[in-house]
Chains A and B, each alone.
Chain A
Amino acid sequence: MELRYVKVLRIDLCFKILNMISKQLRLQWIITPLMLLGLSLSSIAQNIQFKGKVIDADTKIALEAATILVKGQNQSARTNANGQFTISNVSPNASIVVSYVGYTSKTVAVSTGEVVITLVKEDVSLNEVVVTALGIKKEKKKLGYATQDVKGAELVKAREVNPINNLVGKVAGLTVGMNQEMLRLPNLVLRGGRVNLIVVDGIPINSDTWNISPDDIESYNVLKGPVASALYGYRGQNGAIIINTKKGTKDKRGFAVELNSSTTVQNGFIALPRTQDEYGPGDHGKYAFGDGLGGGINDADYDVWGPKFEGQLIPQYDSPVDPITGKRSSTPWLARGKDNLKRFIQSGILNTTNISVASSTEKADLRFSLGNTYNKGILPNTSLNITNLNLASTLRFNSKLTLDANINYSRQYSDNFPDVDYGPNSVIYNMTIWGGADWNIDDMKNYWQPGKEGVQSIYAEYQRYHNPYFMAYEWTRGHYKNDIYAYTSLTYKLNKYVDLFARTSATTYDLLRNEKMPFSAHPYGREEGKGDYREDKRGLFEMNNEFRANFRTPEIAKFFNISGFAGGNLRQFNYNSSFASTNYLNVPNVYNFANSRNPVLAYNFASEMRVRSLLYSVDIEANKYANLNITGRNDQLSALSKDNNSFFYPSFNLSTVLSDYLTMPKQINLLKLRASYAKVRGGGSFVNDYIGSTPNNSFPIGYGQQYQSTYGGPSYTYANVYSTGTGYNNTTQASFTNTLLDSDVQPDDRTNLEFGVESRLLNNRLGIEATYFSYLDGPQIFSKAISQASGFASYVVNGTKTKRTGYDFTVNGSILKKANGINWDVTLNVGAFKNILEELPAGVNVLNTFYTKGMRTDAIYIRKFARTQDGQIINDAGGRPTILPVAQFAGYSNPDFVWGVNNKVSYKAFTLNFQLDGRVGGMMEDYVRKKTFQGGRHIETIEGAMGLARFQDYKGVKSYLGEGVQVGSGAIAYDAVTGLITNYGSLTFAPNATKTYLQDYISRVHGIPEPNMMSKTYLKLREVVVTYELPAGLVKKSPFKKATVSLVGRNLMYWMPDSKFKDVDIDQYPGESSIGLQTPTTRSYGFNLNFIF
Chain B
Amino acid sequence: MKKIFQIVTLVLVIGSMAACNKSFDSLEADPNRATSVPANLILNNVLLNFTNGGFSTKQRSNQYYLCNYDYYGNNEYNWTGYSFGGYNTLKNIAQMEAEATKSVASPNPYTAIGKFLKAYFLYDLTMNLGDIPVSDALKGLTNVTPKYDTQKQVFQQILTYLEQANTEMGTLKTTNYVLASDFYYGNDLSKWQKAVNAFKLRVLIQLSNKEADADLAIKAKFAETISNPTKYPVFASDADNLTFVYNNQYNKYSTNPDNFGFDATRYNMSSTYLGNLASLKDPRTFFVAEPASALVASGKLPNSYDAFAGAGAGEDLATMSKNAGDGKYSFINRKRYYQTYTAETTTQVGYQELCFNMAEAAHRGWITGQSAETWYQNGIKASQAFYGVKEGANTVTFQKPNGTLAESVTYAVDYKYADYYAQATVKYAGSGTAGLNQILLQKYLSLYQNSGAEGYYNWRRTGVPTFHTGPGTGNSQRVALRYQYPSTERAVNKANVEAAIASQYGGADDINAKMWIIK
Residues B260 and A303 in contact, CB atoms below 8 Å apart: no
Question: Known contacts A642-B28, A719-B33, A787-B146; is A729 also within 8 Å of B183 by CB?
Answer: yes
- A789 near B84 with CB under 8 A, answer yes
Looking at the complex, which one of B5, B28, B48, B251 makes contact with A401 (CB distance below 8 Å)? Answer: B5
Please name all residues of chain A whose beta carbon is closer than 8 Å to the beta carbon of B477 when the two chains form the complex: 877, 971
Inside 8 A of B478's CB, which chain A residues have their CB?
Answer: 971
Verify B486–A401 contact, CB threshold 8 A: no
Are A502 and B471 within 8 A (Cβ)?
no
List residues of chain B with CB within 8 A of the CB of A732: 41, 44
Known: A612-B24, A792-B91. A295 touches B402 (CB 8 A): yes
Contacts of B472 in A (CB 8 A): 878
Contacts of B105 in A (CB 8 A): none
Known interface pairs A294-B264, A996-B316, A1003-B70; A790-B44 also in contact (CB < 8 Å): no
Residues A300 and B261 in contact in the complex (CB < 8 Å), given A735-B45, A792-B140, A997-B322: yes
Output the nearest chain B residue to A606 by Cβ-Cβ distance.
B31
B231 at the interface (CB under 8 A from A): no
Q: If A722-B34, A996-B316 touch, does A849 touch B42 (CB 8 Å cutoff)?
A: no
Distance (Å) between the CB of A281 and the closest chain B CB? 13
Residue A621 interfacial (CB < 8 Å): no
Instruction: Fill in one digit per residue for B237-274: 1 if any A CB lies within 8 Å of its CB, else 0.
Output: 00000000001011100000111111011000000000
Complex CA distance for A732 and B41, rounded to whole angstroms? 6
**Chain A: which residue is nearest B12 at the CB level?**
A504
Query: Is there a chain B Cβ closer than 8 Å to A127's Cβ?
Result: no
Is there an interface contact between A397 and B45, defined as CB atoms closer than 8 Å?
Answer: no
Contact for A788 among B70, B407, B486, B509, CB less than 8 A: B486
- The 0/1 profile, CB within 8 Å of B marked 1, for residues 527-557 of chain A is 1100000000000000101000000000000
What is the distance, in angstroms, from B424's C-beta to the closest C-beta of chain A? Answer: 36
Tell me the count of chain A residues lying within 8 A, CB to CB, of chain B.
Answer: 118
B369 at interface by CB-CB < 8 Å: no
Q: Are A730 and B250 in contact (CB under 8 A)?
A: yes
| Chain B interface, number of residues (Cβ within 8 angstroms) | 104
Bound Cα distance A721, B474 (Å): 43
Distance A462 CA – B262 CA, assembled complex (angstroms): 11
A641 to B29 Cα, complex, angstroms: 9
8 A Cβ contacts from B417-471 to A: 470-471
Mark contacts of B468-490 with chain A using CB atoms, 8 A cut-off: 1 yes-contact digit, 0 otherwise: 00111010111000001011111
Q: Are A290 and B404 in contact (CB under 8 A)?
A: yes
Cβ contact within 8 Å between A789 and B325: no
Which residue of A is nearest B491, CB measured?
A846
Does residue A398 face the partner (Cβ distance < 8 Å to B)? yes
| B259 with A397: CB separation less than 8 A | no
Interface residue? A845 (CB, 8 A): yes
Which one of A232-240, A251-259, A632-640, A918-926 contacts B?
A632-640
Q: A724-B41, A727-B181, A843-B492 are in contact. Are A608 and B261 (CB under 8 A)?
A: no
Query: Does B30 lie at the interface of the complex (its beta carbon under 8 Å from any beta carbon of A)?
Result: yes
A774 to B472 Cα, complex, angstroms = 52
A679 close to B (CB within 8 Å): no
* Bound Cα distance from A601 to B338, whole angstroms: 27
A598 & B249 in contact (Cβ 8 Å cutoff): yes
Known: A640-B28, A788-B88, A876-B471. A1004 touches B249 (CB 8 A): no
**Residues B78 and A885 in contact, CB atoms below 8 Å apart:** yes
Residues of B within 8 Å of A788, CB to CB, are: 84-85, 87-88, 486, 488-489
Interface membership of A324, Cβ < 8 A: no
The chain A residue with its CB closest to the CB of B141 is A740
* Chain B residues near A740 (CB-CB < 8 A): 140-141
Instruction: Determine the distance from Cα of A283 to Cα of B72 in the docked complex, in whole angstroms.
Output: 14
Chain B residues lying within 8 Å of A638, measured Cβ to Cβ, are 24-25, 27-28
| Residues of the B chain whose Cβ atoms lie less than 8 Å from the Cβ of A1028 | none
User: Smallest Cβ distance from B7 to chain A, in angstroms?
Assistant: 10
Contact partner of A720 (CB less than 8 A), chosen from B16, B35, B48, B90, is B35
Interface residue? A613 (CB, 8 A) = no
CA distance A640 to B27 in the complex (A): 9
Closest chain-B Cβ to A937's Cβ sits at a distance in Å of 13
Contact with A along B487-519 (1 / 0, CB 8 A): 111111110100001000000111000000000
Chain B positions 6 through 23: 1 when the CB is less than 8 Å from some CB of chain A, otherwise 0 = 001100100110011010
Chain B residues whose C-beta falls within 8 Å of the C-beta of A878 in the assembled complex: 316-319, 471-472
Is A956's CB within 8 Å of the partner chain B?
Answer: yes
Q: Which of B106-114, B131-139, B295-303 has 4 or more CB atoms under 8 Å from chain A?
A: B131-139
B311-363 at interface with A (beta carbon < 8 Å): 316-319, 321-322, 325-326
CB atoms of A727 and B48 under 8 A apart: yes
Tell me the bound Cα distance from A792 to B144 in angstroms: 9
- A298–B84 touching, CB < 8 Å: no
Mask for A707-726, Cβ within 8 A of B = 1, else 0?
00000001010011111111
- Counting chain B CB atoms within 10 Å of each CB, which of A527, A572, A583, A1007 scores highest? A527
Say whether A976 contacts B144, CB under 8 Å: no
Among the interface residues A288, A528, A726, A1007, which one has the most CB atoms of the partner chain B within 10 A?
A528
In the complex, which residues of chain B have a beta carbon less than 8 angstroms from the beta carbon of A397? 1, 4
A303 and B71 within 8 A (CB)? yes
Contact pick for A608, options B22, B95, B133, B471, CB 8 Å:
B22
A396 to B494, CA, bound (A): 70
A124 at the interface (CB under 8 A from B): no
Option from B9, B37, B87, B132 in Cβ contact (under 8 Å) with A502:
B9
A284 in contact with B321 (CB, 8 Å) = yes
Instruction: Please state if A734 and B41 are interface contacts (CB–CB under 8 Å).
Output: yes
A-side contacts of B474, CB under 8 Å: 876
Bound form: Cα–Cα A651–B36 in Å? 44
Please tell me if the beta carbons of A527 and B250 are within 8 angstroms of each other in the complex.
Answer: no
In the complex, are the beta carbons of B183 and A728 less than 8 A apart? yes
Q: Which residue of A lies closest to B91 (CB)?
A: A791
Interface presence of A622 (CB below 8 A): no
Confirm or deny: A43 has a beta carbon within 8 angstroms of a beta carbon on chain B.
no
- Known contacts A789-B87, A843-B145; decide if A886 and B80 are in contact (CB<8 Å): yes
Q: Given the complex of chains A and B, what is the CA–CA distance between A727 and B38 in angstroms?
A: 14
For the complex, is B92 an interface residue (Cβ under 8 Å from A)?
yes
Q: Which listed residue (B12, B32, B41, B140) contacts A606, Cβ 8 A?
A: B32
Scan B205-239; emit 1 where CB is below 8 A from any A CB, else 0: 00000000000000000000000000000000000
Residues of B within 8 A of A309 (CB): none
Bound Cα distance from A1009 to B258, whole angstroms:
30
Residue in A closest to B15 when the chains form the complex, CB atoms: A504
Task: Chain A residues near B322: list those with CB within 8 A.
Answer: 284, 956, 997
Cβ contact of A295, chosen from B9, B30, B35, B404, cutoff 8 A: B404
**CB of A93 within 8 Å of the partner chain:** no
Judge whether B316 and A789 touch: CB under 8 Å. Answer: no
Mark contacts of A275-303 with chain B using CB atoms, 8 A cut-off: 1 yes-contact digit, 0 otherwise. Answer: 00000000110101011111111101101
Instruction: Tell me whether A464 is interfacial, beta carbon within 8 Å.
Output: yes
Kindly list chain A residues whose C-beta atoms are within 8 Å of the C-beta of B138. Answer: 789-791
Distance (whole angstroms) from the CB of A613 to the closest CB of chain B: 13
CB pair A721 B318 closer than 8 Å: no
Q: Find chain A residues with CB under 8 A from B132 CB.
A: 789
Contacts of B144 in A (CB 8 A): 786-787, 790, 795, 843
Is the CB of B172 closer than 8 A to any CB of chain A? no
- A603–chain B nearest beta-carbon distance, Å: 9
Question: Contacts A286-B325, A790-B139 known; A572 to B19 CB distance under 8 Å?
Answer: yes
- Tell me how far the C-beta of B503 lies from the nearest C-beta in chain A, rounded to whole angstroms: 15
Complex alpha-carbon distance, A583 and B250, angstroms? 10
Q: How far is the CA of A48 from the CA of B103 in the complex (A)?
A: 112
Q: Tell me the minimal C-beta distance from B497 to chain A in angstroms.
A: 8
For window 962-1018 of chain A, which residues contact chain B by CB distance below 8 Å? Answer: 967, 971-973, 976-977, 996-997, 999-1001, 1003-1004, 1007
* A/B interface sample: 9 pairs, CB < 8 A: A570-B16, A607-B31, A723-B33, A795-B141, A844-B491, A845-B494, A849-B491, A876-B474, A880-B318
Q: Enumerate the 4 nearest inter-chain pairs by beta-carbon distance, A residue then B residue, closest first.
A: A463-B261, A300-B261, A878-B316, A527-B258
**Further 9 A-B residue pairs, CB within 8 A, beyond A290-B404, A291-B404:** A295-B402, A397-B4, A641-B28, A696-B32, A732-B41, A734-B34, A788-B85, A789-B138, A791-B137
